[in-house]
């Protein structure tokens, strides 16, 4: 699904409510759309000339917290092998540091009579 009109070429160019909602959800959950380095469109209708239609239907969405850990990201569109979709690839060169998650607990868990058994 496209999130803006720059992600579509040819055909009927409009955004429906689903596209707008998709873009809103991406923003709300704090994801970053990693742009491909070698193009935009990952799907085409296999028509030639003015009848051609292409869209960005495939994407990598990474959480903002992952991106802020550092490193470099590169997304690329790979060659198609006959399909109307081009596969995409993501590589990440990280800082090679241990990512730790803080331990969190909700005190209400202690009220569960099976808490100690489950833990």
CA–CA dist 44, 32 (Å, integer): 24
- pLDDT single digits (tens) 4-53: 999 999 998 889 899 999 999 999 999 999 999 999 999 998 877 778 89
Say which residues have a Cβ less than 8 Å from residue 119's Cβ, sequence separation at least 6.
none
pLDDT at 38: 96
- From residue 6, alpha-carbon distances to 18, 60, 72 in Å are 16, 17, 25
CA–CA dist 84, 45 (Å, integer): 7
Please state the pTM of the whole predicted model.
Answer: 0.70
The pLDDT mean for the chain works out to 87
């Amino acid at each position: 699904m496209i999130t803006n009109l720059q992600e579509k070429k040819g055909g009927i160019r409009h955004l429906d409510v689903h596209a707008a909602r998709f873009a809103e959800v991406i923003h709300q959950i704090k994801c970053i759309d990693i742009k491909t380095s070698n193009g935009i469109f990952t799907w085409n209708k296999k028509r030639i000339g003015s009848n051609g239609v292409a869209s960005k239907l495939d994407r990598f969405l990474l959480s903002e917290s992952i991106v802020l850990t550092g490193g470099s990201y590169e997304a690329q569109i790979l060659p198609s092998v006959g399909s109307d979709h081009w596969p995409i690839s993501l590589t990440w060169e990280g800082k090679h540091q241990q990512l730790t998650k803080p331990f969190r607990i909700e005190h209400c868990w202690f009220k569960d009579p099976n808490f100690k058994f489950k833990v």
